[in-house]
Amino acid sequence: MAERTLLVIKPDAVQRGLIGNIISRIERKGLKIIALKIMMLTDDEVDKLYDIHMDKVFYPLLNSFIISGPLVAIAIQGKNSVKIVRKLAGVTNSPEAEPGTIRGDFGVDLTKNIIHSSDKPERAEYELSVLFKEEDYVSYSLINESWVE
Ligand code: CMP
């Protein structure tokens, strides 16, 4: 199975009307979206998604921000998709992110940093399992696929 990753469009980006712009960047890169949904997360779901950060000092702020409004969860599949989506995202702290990246173009803050993306394939599978069921994934070919990979 080709590598999968999770990209979350966070509540700040949803409220600012950036969903379309962010999805467009995934599409024009040649990546394939295999599941997508807009949703409100519960406190418990945020704890699961960010289990590795739960004992950090910034966690209460992160949790309350993530539950503050709807987010868009996107499952993406393709060769090297984890690394590619991380590159499209830019570094975590928005003020440090290069122009041309998603956070570099839209973010000014560390907590309200527009998106989340998984940092390694094993982590991607775990995070995807928090937000999606296996039956949510759609298996299909894009007509330009052979021209991309
Ligand atoms: P994200 O990629 O969603 O992963 C964890 C999030 O915690 C991160 O983006 C930031 O929004 C948030 N965060 C807040 N403070 C920090 C910090 N000091 N270091 C790393 N992440 C932080």
Separation CA 65–CA 39 (nearest Å): 14
- 4-135 sits in which CATH class? alpha beta
> Residue ranges of the domains in the chain?
4-135
Tell me if 23 sits within 8 A of 76, measured CB to CB: no
- The single-letter DSSP state of residue 110 is S
How far does residue 86's CA lie from ligand 1's centre (Å)?
14
**Residues known to be catalytic:** 116
16-44 per-position pLDDT tens digit: 999 999 999 999 999 999 999 999 999 99
57-92 per-position pLDDT tens digit: 999 999 999 999 999 999 999 999 999 999 999 999
Q: Is the pLDDT of residue 148 over 90?
A: no
pLDDT band for position 144 (50/70/90)? confident
Rg (CA), the chain: 15
How far does residue 103's CA lie from ligand 1's centre (Å)?
12
Query: What pTM was computed for the model?
Result: 0.97
Q: Determine which residue's CA is closest to atom 16 belonging to ligand 1.
A: 58
With the most atoms of ligand 1 within 8 angstroms of its CB, the residue from 7, 51, 86, 92 to mutate is: 92
Residues with C-beta less than 6 Å from any ligand 1 atom: 53, 58, 62, 92, 110-111, 113, 116
Tell me if 113 sits within 8 A of 92, measured CB to CB: yes
Ligand 1 atom closest to residue 50's alpha carbon, by position in its atom list = 5
pLDDT value, residue 132: 98
* Mean pLDDT of the 83-103 span: 98
